[in-house]
Amino acid sequence: MRLRNIQGSRDVIAQSPLVVHEPRQYRDEWKEAFGNDHPIRIEVGMGKGKFIYQLARLNPQINYIGIEKYSSVLLRALQKMEDEPLPNLLFIRMDAEEISEVFGREEVDRIYLNFSDPWPKDRYAKRRLPSREFLKRYDSILKKDGVLEFKTDNRELFDFALLELPFAGWEIVSVTYDLHHDEEMMAGNIMTEYEERFSAQGNPICKYIIKR
């Protein structure tokens, strides 16, 4: 998702109290950003943020951080949330390649990837958020017993993501190729913007939950 460059989006983001502007300063100290030591869960590539906003509303005892690379997209999330900001939800505009500079070892309790960009050309495989390169980065910040959840309707990306697991030392906790018809894995499911769009078109949604 790359919205047209919206004029002034960087200025709006720079002034937003919902955005952490110098996230590296909080490495190993994220409890200070929230003012409590509740668990921290992150969504990498959150887009317009519907999923993480709903999670944060439902779970006030958990802190959430939405990570998005593009200002124009993050701006849309901020616009939606400014009427009812949540104390347990913050945002970072950054490339997730730098994620281990922003979170310390075992600082994150759970990681969500939703409808990550497929980067279909092989030469860009390293940019895919469930690639082995990214799994190694997640490994460095996720609690020992933490899990990562990934949803997509893109079967090629999902198959790729499954094949990457052993190379980075991860294993499957649960998996489905049709989430919306899997009663167990569907329990408590929160739809993302992309999930709403693609499931309405009849695309089955794949999901895995993985651990090390």
Of 70 and 170, which has the nearer Cβ to ligand SAM?
70
**Residues sharing a CB contact under 8 Å with residue 114, sequence separation 6 or more, in sequence order:** 43, 45, 46, 47, 51, 150, 151, 152, 192, 194, 195
CA gap 178, 203 in Å, rounded: 9
Burial class (CB in 10 A: 0-12, 13-18, 19+), 61: exposed
Residue 153 interacting with ligand SAM (CB under 6 A) = no
**Strand 142-152 to 108-114 pairing:** parallel
CB of 126 to ligand SAM, least distance (A): 10
CA gap 124, 173 in Å, rounded: 27
Residue 128 interacting with ligand SAM (CB under 6 A) = no
Site for ligand SAM in 32-91 (CB under 6 A): 44-47, 67-70, 73
Residue 125 interacting with ligand SAM (CB under 6 A) = no
Handedness of CA 146, 147, 148, 151 (dihedral sign): negative
Q: Which stretch binds ligand SAM (CB under 6 A): 27-35, 56-64, 77-85, 93-101?
A: 93-101
Q: Which stretch binds ligand SAM (CB under 6 A): 31-39, 114-122, 159-167, 168-176?
A: 114-122
Question: 28 an active-site residue?
Answer: no
Nearest to 97 by CA among 135, 148, 60, 49: 135
Of 102 and 210, which has the nearer Cβ to ligand SAM?
102
Residue 108 interacting with ligand SAM (CB under 6 A) = no
By CB under 6 A, name the binding residues for ligand SAM: 1, 44-47, 67-70, 73, 95-97, 114-117, 129, 192-195
